[in-house]
Every structure is written in C-alpha cells, then in structure tokens.
Structure 1
Amino acid sequence: MGEKRFVIGNWKSYKRFEEAKIWLDGFAGLYTPHDDVRVIIAPNFLCLEKTGEYLRSLDLKNVSLAAQDVSPFPKGPYTGAIAADLLKGTAEYVIVGHSERRRYFHETSQDVGNKVSETIDAGLTPIVCVDQPYAMSQLTSLNDIETDSVIIAYGPVESLNFRIPQTPEKIKEAAEFISQVHPKWPIVYGGALNPDIVDEYANIKGIAGLFVGSASLEAQSFHTILKAVCHTMNK
C-alpha cells in the first residue's frame, strides 16, 4: 500500500440531482478504482443526500461525498444552518474555509476553526482551504486541533481570480511551508486546474492530490485528471 492520494471535485453552486445523476452515470462508465486514491465529490446541499443515495447504489469503490460547508454551531436553533451531525451518513468529508466563503461570506479564521471542530466532533474529515498571502494566520488558527484527520487544500487567490494555475515550483514551496506548520496533514492543490495541464500537477513533491473546481463539472474532464493522479501511483 502506498501513500494515500485524493482527487476532490467541488461542484460549487451547480447541478440539481438530475444532473448529478447523469454525471455519476458517466463517471461510473469510465472509473477504475485505485486502492490508494480516494475520490471525493462535493455537490451542493440541495442534492447532497439524494446524490449520496444514488452513489451508494452504484457501489463505486473509494468514492465519497463531501459537503461544501458546515455550520460553526451544533444542532440547535440556528435557522438556515446545517450542523455537522446532520451530515453523518451522507458525507464523509466537509470543505471548510474556501476562499469564496472567506471573500463573499466574510468568514473569519475563527469561524473556520469552529467549523473544523464541529466537523471533527461529528466524526467527519474537514478539507480546510488555505491561500496565500494569508496561509500563516489561517494555519495557526488550527493549532489547537489535535487530530490526524484533516486535509489541507492549498489554493492561491491569484490562481482562482485569474484562472491561471500557480507554477509547480511555487506549489512545492507552499507545501513545504504548510508542512512545517502542520506536518501530519496531507496537502492537496487547487487552482485553475484542467485536463490539458494536469500532468504537470499530478506528482508535485509534498502534494497528496488535487482539488478541482470547474473541471469537475464534466465527468470526462474530471476522470482525465483522476487518471493522471492514478498514473503517478503506478510508477
């Protein structure tokens, strides 16, 4: 068994369940599991539960769901919030602190820390997003989190804003920096990835996988990225 790798698809605010079902059918026809590669798909809350039910019916090995966000509070009188405990049985992972959440919804590092704690307490794995130039403060806010069950998703803001991926050399440097702060947590890279360039990004030292946005909306393009990561595991 090798080191675990992750390929994460973030569907953001797209896809009703009917579209998610078509995506999963297409992906299932292409997919060959790899023992050391975990595929994680993040639908929106509207179709998360039904997508989970359909995914279980397909019985795809090593494919799991993530929620795109979570409440910083437990179950209780918090109108509009989705507590981590409510996600159990549907999602295994939760995306926390995405740059879009920090930018458009004004989430603070304290908010993110609370969400991470709630996620871990519910027995789920947080995928914590960090970016430059704020990585240090975002990472140190997690210093009190005592668990190995965290994935760090590094996504530089300029790559997201201008849709130009950061160079592999810069990503390697960022991974080294993050590992100095939290050496036990795997790091994935996300930012303007697409199938045409994925070979350059599938095997960067210190990176345990890829976090895919727009390119995950089509099953074929997402599968191409997944194949590139699996290929590096077979070398």
Structure 2
Amino acid sequence: MKDFLIVGNWKENKTLGEALMWSKEVLPKLKKIKRVRVVVCPPFVLIPALATLFDNQPLQVGAQDLSEFVRGTYTGEVSAEALRGFITYTIVGHSERRRALGERNKNIAAKVKNALCFGIRPIVCVSDKVDLEGAIFNGEAGFNEQNFQNQITSVFEELPPKEQKKVIFCYEPPTAISKPIGPIGVGQAAAVSEVEKMAKIIQKTAPTNLILYGGSVKSDNVLDFLQSPILDGVMPGSASLNAQEFSELVLRVEKANQ
C-alpha cells in the first residue's frame, strides 16, 4: 500500500497547556510510525511551540490558513513568509472560511501562490456546494460540476505546471463537517462511493495531484476511505483533538500499511 497523509485540523481549539498535554500523550505513541505522514494544524498562536516539540519527531506542523498578501498593512493577517520557518503545509479554502468569512476562489488562489513561493505545500479544500465564485450555498440546489471544477482551475491559473503538481486537494462536503461543539465525528461522513466519485472529478483537472477526504473521519471509519485506490489521505477535525482517538486513527493506518 502507498504512504498516506493524515492532516489533523484543530480549528479554533486548544490552549497552550492543552496542546502540551496532547503532545505528551501522542508523541510517545507515534514515535515509530514510518508509513504515514502526519501533519497537525493548530491555531496560529500554538504553531511555534508545536514546531519545537515536533522537532526530530515523525509529526509535522501545518497552518489552518495564511494571508493572501505577501506583507503590508493588513491587520490580523499572518504571511507565508512569517510561517515558513515553522510549517510545511497549510490548509486553504476550508468550507467554514468560505461560509463564515466570505473567502472566494480568487482569495484562495492568491493564498496558494504565496504558500508555494515560500516552500509551503497548500492543501486546498473543495466543496460540492459552491457557486461560480466558490462561495458555499445552502439549500437543495443540485451539484454543478463547472462550479466544483472552478475551485481547482482558479488555483492552477496562477501557477506554472511544476507548481501545480505540489497542490493537494481535499474534498470536504459541508454536510459531513462535525458541529462546532460535540463528540468525535459527530457529523455524518460521506459514503466512500460518493467520495470516490468526487475524487474522480478532481482528477479530470488534477490527474497527478494528491487527493484527501475530510468530514467526520475517525478511527472507526478511516480505513474505509484509505482502502480506496484513488484517495491519498484524510483530514480529521474533531478526531484530531482527542489524543487517544487521534493516536488510534494514525496507528490503524500505519498497521494497515505494514
């Protein structure tokens, strides 16, 4: 089996003390993993501390976002240049940011370009519930393949071919995203057949790029997704917050890859 990428998205969770306790429990359990690449994406303020803790460990640190601007008078923004000494990956365009913060394809494309300029590999989240500009919509409107593909082509338009290959895409249907507060994997994960269908659509435009799935992934269902030949990894959210659950998730994938 191929090596898999597991990206834990902590979202707006954990204090420094909680992050240290999580690391104290997780690092000893995962110190011998070899067939899984593990990235943890904490809030910005925790990135330096985790980067230090993860030094010489099989875990890497990522960001949940970065600025679309290189630098300047943009209060509250964090640039790719400032992050490059701490992270190797960054999430970009999560559906929660598209919905709550008004991010659109053009903003996401600029962030991807900035990330790659500073050696950070972007993980672009794509949704099946978007309009032509990449905004999340509610309601019963049907799937529009052109709108879906625009999330990919808008990113590629800003990049030369050799840089396009570095972009990772993560299919994350909004209906599968766990609620803000609740138990692990409280949302309803998408069916593997549906995820594979969407991954094949991604491959039409991005045939050589890595493809992940995100949405209520947990230790009980992770192997269902990773046994699919078309998927290269997963992005757990709530499951990554619980040290025991996240360790179990990673170890199950590691064991399956032996």
For the superposition of Structure 1 and Structure 2, which TM-score range results when normalised by the shorter chain? over 0.9
What's the offset of the Cα at 1:197? Answer: 2.4
What's the offset of the Cα at 1:113? Answer: 0.2
Superposition TM-score, scaled by structure 2 size? 0.84
Q: Residue 140 of structure 2 corresponds to which residue in structure 1? A: none
Unaligned residue ranges in structure 2 (runs of 5+): 131-147, 180-186
1:109 pairs, out of 98, 105, 110, with: 105
CA RMSD of aligned residues (A): 1.6
Superposition TM-score, scaled by structure 1 size? 0.92
Task: List per-residue Cα deviations over 1:80-108 (Å, max 9, x = no partner).
Answer: 11010000111111110000010000001
8 A contact 1:202–1:228 mirrored in 2 = no
1:158 pairs, out of 171, 175, 185, with: 175
Q: Residue 136 of structure 2 corresponds to which residue in structure 1? A: none
Off by >3 Å, runs of 4+ in structure 1: 32-36
Separation of aligned partners in 2, 1:46 and 1:32: 24
Q: Residue 232 of structure 1 corresponds to which residue in structure 2? A: 256
Q: Residue 41 of structure 2 corresponds to which residue in structure 1? A: 42
Confirm whether residue 121 of structure 1 aligns to residue 126 of structure 2. Answer: no
Confirm whether residue 60 of structure 1 aligns to residue 57 of structure 2. Answer: yes
Separation of aligned partners in 1, 2:77 and 2:192: 37
SS at match of 2:188: coil
Q: Residue 8 of structure 1 corresponds to which residue in structure 2? A: 7
SS at match of 1:192: coil
Separation of aligned partners in 2, 1:33 and 1:149: 27
Separation of aligned partners in 2, 1:201 and 1:32: 24
SS at match of 1:142: helix
Confirm whether residue 90 of structure 1 aligns to residue 86 of structure 2. Answer: yes
Work out the percentage of aligned pairs sharing the same amino acid: 30
Question: For 1:150-189, what aligned pairs fall within 5 Å after superposition?
Answer: 150-160=167-177, 163-189=187-213
1:197 pairs, out of 211, 215, 221, with: 221
What's the offset of the Cα at 1:161? Answer: 6.4
Separation of aligned partners in 1, 2:13 and 2:24: 17
Q: How many residues align?
A: 230
SS at match of 1:85: helix
What's the offset of the Cα at 1:137? Answer: 1.9
Unaligned residue ranges in structure 1 (runs of 5+): none
Aligned residue identity for 1:79:
T
Separation of aligned partners in 2, 1:54 and 1:188: 26
